[in-house]
């Protein structure tokens, strides 16, 4: 069965929400230990870089005043 993952971010500077059957690995392909989750097919990944549980989102973005970076259109 092919790997199917949906990645979405509902709002700017919010976490990337993964839905599907997946494993998170580092750049060398080594599995990254993740905290236990209620739903094993859903995970929120940090997109702000401030999470104490990186790469997993811990809600730290809620205290930030970051603005999304928008790439210019060509």
- Residue 58 placed within a domain: yes
Task: State which residues form the domain around 15.
Answer: 1-67
Residue 34 in any domain: the answer is yes
Domain presence at residue 74? no
> With a threshold of 0.85, does the pTM exceed it?
no
pLDDT at 8: 63
pLDDT exceeds cutoff 60 at 67: yes
Beta-strand ranges (E) seen in 1-74 are: 5-8, 16-20, 42-45
13 assigned to some structural domain: yes
DSSP 5-53: EEEE-SSTTPPEEEEES---B-TTSPBPP----SSTTEEEE-SSS--TT
Q: Please, which residues bridge with residue 44 across strands?
A: 17
* pLDDT tens-place string over residues 19-62: 877 788 888 888 888 777 766 778 888 888 888 988 888 888 88
Backbone φ and ψ of 72, nearest 5° = -65, 145
Total number of domains in the chain: 1
């Amino acid at each position: 069965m092919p790997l199917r993952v949906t990645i979405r971010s509902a709002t700017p500077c919010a976490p990337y929400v993964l839905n599907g059957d997946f494993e998170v690995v580092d750049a060398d392909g080594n599995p990254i230990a993740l905290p236990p989750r209620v739903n094993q097919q859903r995970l929120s990944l940090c997109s702000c870089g401030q999470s104490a549980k990186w790469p997993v989102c811990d809600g730290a973005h809620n205290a930030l005043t970051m603005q999304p970076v928008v790439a210019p259109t060509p």
